[in-house]
Chain A
Amino acid sequence: MSRKVITTAGASGTPDAATQLLDVVDLKTHFRTERGTVRAVDGVSLNLDRGRTLGVVGESGSGKTILSRSIMGLLPSRNTVRQGHVFYEGVDIVGYDQNQMRDIWGAEMAMVFQDPMTSLNPVMKIGLQITESLTHHLKMDKKEAKATATALLASVGIPEPVQRFDEYPHQLSGGMRQRVTIAIALACGPKVLFADEPTTALDVTVQAQILNLLAAQQQERHMAMILVTHDLGVVAGRADEILVMYGGKVVEQAPTALLFDNVKMPYTEALLRSIPKLSHRSHTRLDAIPGRPPDLVNPPPGCNFSPRCRYVQPSCLVQEPPLMSIGTTGQHYRCWYPVGTPEGDDALARNIAAAGDEDVAVAAFRAAQVAVGATPQSLDPPPVAAPVPGGTRPPPPDRTQPTEEA
């Protein structure tokens, strides 16, 4: 059906269009645990302007939720290391303490949480939960706040808002509750809205409605939105730009249209491949990505994604690819053998040929491990010295010789 194309308003509309609304530079968020330092977010940079939507995509444990909470400064301070810069309207807010952040929370940045079952206070009437921040931030009196709250409830598509005002969260359905949390988040007119998997906990039939509501509100208020999700389908029609995260790092970043036309990172490709297609016959095996997300305490050497990658080559295990950009298109990716390039196609063809019946990624990773002389870490079938395609090994794109210890 018709998907609204979010028009980016020209710079003319806003008075101080010179400074970017949100500019995150090399943000790191590490947690100190008994096992070691968890690098949940490891050097992420992004920027966002008014009225734009950024989709942050990644599987569980990729650091996307921590990224959004870290930008907002909502993480507990204990055992958390937060480095880098978050420029909000040109001012770095990373060093702000709780009191300073309180002026930003709600009024400047707000968040819609994943599960509306737990993000609403069960013993407080929903009306009160909305008027709270209105009376607090905008210094409205009770009557004014109530009128505003009712209008807000109506604007997020809640029928009979006056009656709902005096109801408790448990009296509403999941979709209605998420509408309420959106109304609460929008109450003070934030300039940046973080939507942290806003539809994951909802019925599939309600998901589209909530996403459309968010898009409509964003357009109306000329807000910037960061839409965090694990579902590429959710951001496909709604984000201006997509940022794919893996193991706490950005692995691919591109304007939406460009990303879907011209995937460069094998991880993004694997995500796309894992979406079931309607044209498939029923009981077609899902094309899942083998393995698990990387251990963020002891990340594998080289490329994070190499153990699960269909394109993996020995050099991938040695040197981590930097974030490379394609000209001035705004597309960035982190891969030595990008999808759709001669090297990438070559690598994939080689791996498929060598894999036989086995999963391409699993077999190719084992072969690559043997090639660089590392002890195979794979737990399942002991390495049956997979045939290393002799002579066809490409010269490592990097000049450094593997000096990895076994």
Chain B
Amino acid sequence: MPERSSDPGGSSFFAGSGDMASEISQIADGDVAVLEILHDLDPGQVDDAVAKKRLGFGFWLASAWFFLVLVLALLAPLLPLKDPLVPVGRPRQSPNIEFWFGTDSIGRDIFSRVIWGGRVSLVVGFASILLGLAVGGTIGIVAGYYKRRTEAFLMGSMDVLLAFPALLLALVIVSFTGDNSITNVVLAIGIVSIAPIARLVRASTLVFSQREFVTAARSLGASNGRIITREILPNVLLPVLSFSIIGVAVAIVAEGGLAFLGLSVPPPTPTWGGMINDGRAQLDNHPYMSLIPCFIMFLTVLSLNLAGDRIREYFDIKEGAL
């Protein structure tokens, strides 16, 4: 690299010449050597100067709570919990050393029931959103990519689906299928989630399919299927996945709603919504029976929302960074 000339006149940028105009004309002529020197001098080319993005304390706290619930629910059969289905003690006990969250109106351990109930909530939350992603995602990406009649038809049917009140639709599906097995609950909430996910994916697809790298892929002879799976899907997936974390939270609440109405998994299997409903009659004298499952559900949904929001922001790649 050439030394900066030390003469105080300072008219020369490079050593060994004083004539700015001839330097510029050299550059204009495409003198590669000079170009490379300019490159070396340009500090803007140096990477690493970007500040690291952080997820923040709130995110880690929320994730910690969620993973605690997740691990407890997963390990429920292995943990030394009391049987959640049969009375194990005196009914209506307030929280104490033996029964951490107290007992319900027929003497079942609320702590154990909350953990077992978490299994139902989490399975329903994740499975229904996965179902929604698989079906709604496919519909959205196909509609957004092919446009025209395909889009009109697919998004038209999504609008029909959206026209039903969500809870009512879920109710109809659950009561139509007869037995309230967990599969049916998942099916009901999954179907309800299809339309919003399809709209989100379509919107995202519309944006990405206009991008030049899609035209570039086409100009290299990529087929439509290839463009969808290799070019658009990976780009759409990121925002959609972070959105679906929030979707899981909504699905958990929806399951709680169904359970509260007695349309989720039938008793005696514990569910958070069902427990809130069970404690309803005792709200005056023994509020903990409803409030504890309420609070657990509240924290879980809140943690999913917080984490989901943060992840969405984190992956929200600005145009300039591409």
Contact = CB atoms under 8 A, between A and B. Distances in A.
Interface stretch (B89-97, B197-205, B230-238, B282-290): B230-238
A314 interface: no
Interface string A92-127: 000000100111111101110111011111111000
A188 B42 CA distance: 35
A51 interface: no
Nearest to B42: A205
Most interface-central of B21, B39, B148, B322 (chain A CB within 10 A): B322
A137 B217 CA distance: 13
B222 interface: yes
Contacts of B224: 98
A133 B218 CA distance: 11
Given A1-B29, A212-B30, A132 B215 contact: no
A104 B27 CA distance: 39
Given A74-B219, A278-B21, A118 B212 contact: yes
B235 to A, nearest CB: 6
A105 B230 contact: no
Interface stretch (A167-175, A302-310, A358-366, A370-378): A167-175
A187 B60 CA distance: 45
A136 interface: yes
Contacts of B88: none
B45 interface: yes
Contacts of B45: 173
Interface string A54-85: 00000000000000000010100010000000
A213 B230 CA distance: 29
Interface residues of A, number: 47
A208 interface: yes
Given A169-B322, A170-B322, A173-B45, A119 B35 contact: no
Nearest to B24: A278
Contacts of A78: 147-148
A367 interface: no
A209 B35 contact: yes
Nearest to A98: B224
Contacts of A205: 27, 35, 38-39, 42
Nearest to B25: A278
Nearest to A168: B322
Nearest to B320: A117
B32 A212 contact: yes
Interface string A342-359: 000000000000000000
B235 A121 contact: yes
A38 interface: no
A209 B35 CA distance: 9
Contacts of A106: 219-222
B163 interface: no
Contacts of A171: 47
Contacts of B221: 101-107, 133, 136-137, 188
Nearest to B31: A1
A219 interface: no
B314 interface: no
Interface in B11-54: 21, 24-32, 35, 38-39, 42, 45, 47
Nearest to B50: A170
A253 interface: no
A178 interface: no
B6 interface: no
B215 A74 contact: yes
Most interface-central of B30, B35, B226 (chain A CB within 10 A): B30
A123 B238 contact: yes
A181 interface: yes
8 contacts: A1-B26, A102-B221, A106-B219, A121-B217, A121-B231, A169-B322, A209-B32, A212-B32
Q: Which 3 interchain pairs have the tightest Cβ spacing? A: A208-B30, A106-B221, A106-B220
Interface of B: 21, 24-32, 35, 38-39, 42, 45, 47, 147-148, 211-213, 215-224, 226, 230-231, 234-235, 238, 317, 321-322
